[in-house]
Amino acid sequence: MRLTMRKLTPLLFCLSLFSLHVYAGRQVVDQLGRRVTIPDRVDRVVVLQHQTLNLLVQLGATDKIVGVLSNWKQQLGENYQRLAPALASIPAPGDLAHVDPEALVALHPQVVFVTNYAPLSMIEHIQSLGIPVIAISLRSGRPEQLAKLNPVLEDEEQAYDRGLKEGIRLIGNIINRPEQAEELINAAFSQRQLVQARLRAIPAGQRVRVYIANPELTTYGSGKYTGLMMAHAGALNVAAAVNGYKQVSMEQIIAWNPQVILVQNRYPQVINEIKTQPAWRVIDAVQHQRVWLMPEYAKAWGYPMPEATGLGELWLAKKLYPKKFKDIDMQQQADNWYMRFYHTHYDGGN
C-alpha cells in the first residue's frame, strides 16, 4: 500500500517521538524539583528562557541551539547578537509563556529549556509531545516558592548563590559540558571576597541609596538577585520594601529620593525619559547627574548571571566608591571575561 503524505506525516511524527525515547538514558532533576529523563548525549536544544540562552552561549554551546525564544533581542539587548551571531537565523517556536507545538516538533529538539514560572499547561503540553522539559530558575528555596516569579525567600543570599551554581551545573550536565560549567562558576564568584573586604568598613548609614529604573516605573525589590547585587556592591536598595519585580508610583520614587539611579543596558530609552521628564528633576540622583546606564555585563535581570556576579558587582562597587577600587581596570576585567567566555573582545564602556 502506498503511503500518502497525509498518512506519512503522523507516522514520521511517531517515529521521531520513538527515537527520543530510544536514546533517553539518564535522569536529571530540574530547578522545579522535577525528575526528567533525557538522552545520554544532547546536541539539539530549544531555549525558551533568556537566562539559559545566555548561559549556553558562555558554555560554548551555541551550536547545540536549534530554537530560541522569540523576544531574545528584547530580553538580552540589541547588542547581544554580536556575541552570538548565529542566533539571528535560529527559529523561534515560542517565548517565556507560549509555544507553537508544530514549530517546536519540526526542530526535533532533545531538550526544551523553560523558565521556572512558565505555565504548567505549557510544560505539560511539551512533555505530551515526548520532549523532555527542563525548568531553570537560578535560585533555590522552599518547594512552594520554586515556580513563582516573585518568591518569598528566607535567605536570599543562599537561595541565589546556591541556585546559580546548581543551575549552571544542571545545564552543563545536560549539554555534556560539566567542566566548562565549573569554570564559569569559579569565575562568577572569584571577585566577591575582594569587593566585600574593601567595603566592610563602610557603615550601613553611609552606604549609597540606589534605585534601579526599568520601563513603566517598574523596579526590583526584595526576593530578586538585583537587590543582592546592590548590597554586595555597598549600595542600599531604596525599593527593598517592595516584594519582587513591581511597578511603583512616581510619588514613591520621589519619597525614596535615591542618590544614584541605575538603568539596565537593555533599556537605554529609560535614561532619556529620566533626563527629559520634569517629575524626575527633584530627585537627588538627577540633580547631581548620577543616572548611570549599566554596562551590558552588569545584568540586573532579577535573576543572577555569572558576569553580573563576577563583573557587575565589582563595576557597581567601583562606581559608588571609586577611591577604594582605584587599582581596578574594569575595561580590562570585562575584556578578559569576554575573551574567555564569549570569545570576542568587550567593546562597551564602563
Cβ burial of 323 (10 Å; 0-12, 13-18, 19+) is exposed
Structural domain includes residue 285:
yes
Structural domain includes residue 348:
no
Cα of first residue to Cα of last residue in the chain, in angstroms, is 68
Residues in the chain: 350
Within 8 A by CB and 6+ apart from 294, the residues are 262, 263, 264, 265, 300, 312, 315, 316
Structural domain includes residue 38:
yes
CATH code, domain carrying 288: 3.40.50.1980
Hey, what long-range contacts does 250-256 have (CB within 8 A, 24 or more apart)?
Answer: 250/217, 250/279, 253/211, 253/217, 253/283, 254/279, 254/282, 254/283, 256/209, 256/211
Cα dist from 225 to 41, 221, 306, 313, whole Å: 32, 9, 12, 11
In this structure, the answer to whether residues 305 and 200 fall within a common structural domain is: yes
Q: How many domains does the chain have?
A: 2
Within 8 A by CB and 6+ apart from 141, the residues are 151, 153, 154, 159, 163
Strand partners, 38: 26
Going by their DSSP bridges, the two strands 218-220 and 245-247 should be labelled as antiparallel
Domain boundary among 189, 224, 250: 189
Within 8 A by CB and 6+ apart from 241, the residues are 221, 222
In this structure, the answer to whether residues 204 and 220 fall within a common structural domain is: yes
Q: What are phi and psi of 92, to 5 degrees?
A: -120, 95
Domain boundary among 189, 219, 238: 189
In this structure, the answer to whether residues 217 and 69 fall within a common structural domain is: no
| Model pTM above 0.85 | yes
Structural domain includes residue 324:
yes
Within 8 A by CB and 6+ apart from 199, the residues are 233, 234, 317, 321, 324
In this structure, the answer to whether residues 108 and 155 fall within a common structural domain is: yes
In this structure, the answer to whether residues 284 and 167 fall within a common structural domain is: no
Q: What are phi and psi of 93, to 5 degrees?
A: -85, 0
295 near 323, Cβ under 8 Å? no
In this structure, the answer to whether residues 36 and 184 fall within a common structural domain is: yes
Largest CA distance in the chain: 83
Residue 17: give the domain boundaries: 10-189
Strand partners, 243: 222
User: What pLDDT is recorded for position 25?
Assistant: 84
Domain boundary among 189, 210, 227: 189
pLDDT in tens, the chain (350 residues): 333 334 435 544 544 454 444 455 899 999 999 999 999 999 999 999 999 999 999 999 999 999 999 999 999 988 899 999 999 999 999 999 999 999 999 999 999 999 999 999 999 999 999 999 999 999 999 999 999 988 888 899 999 999 999 999 999 999 999 999 999 999 999 989 899 999 999 998 899 999 999 999 999 998 899 999 999 999 999 999 999 999 999 999 999 999 999 999 999 999 999 999 999 999 999 999 999 999 999 998 888 999 999 999 999 999 999 999 999 999 999 999 999 999 999 988 66
Structural domain includes residue 161:
yes
In this structure, the answer to whether residues 184 and 323 fall within a common structural domain is: no
The number of helix segments (H) and strand segments (E) in the chain equals 15, 12
User: What pLDDT is recorded for position 245?
Assistant: 93
In this structure, the answer to whether residues 179 and 272 fall within a common structural domain is: no
User: What pLDDT is recorded for position 350?
Assistant: 63
Q: Categorise residue 232: left if φ over 0, alpha if ψ from -120 to 50, beta otherwise.
A: alpha
In this structure, the answer to whether residues 200 and 157 fall within a common structural domain is: no
In this structure, the answer to whether residues 145 and 212 fall within a common structural domain is: no
Q: Categorise residue 305: left if φ over 0, alpha if ψ from -120 to 50, beta otherwise.
A: beta
Q: How many CA atoms lie within 13 A of 242 on its CB side?
A: 22
User: What pLDDT is recorded for position 151?
Assistant: 87
Determine the Cα–Cα distance for residues 142 and 151; give it in Å rounded to an integer. Answer: 9
In this structure, the answer to whether residues 338 and 201 fall within a common structural domain is: yes
Structural domain includes residue 327:
yes
E runs forming strands in the chain = 24-29, 35-39, 45-48, 65-68, 111-115, 133-136, 208-212, 218-220, 235-237, 245-247, 260-263, 291-293
Q: What residue has cell string 551571531?
A: 85
Structural domain includes residue 2:
no
Q: What residue has cell string 525614596?
A: 256
In this structure, the answer to whether residues 81 and 224 fall within a common structural domain is: no
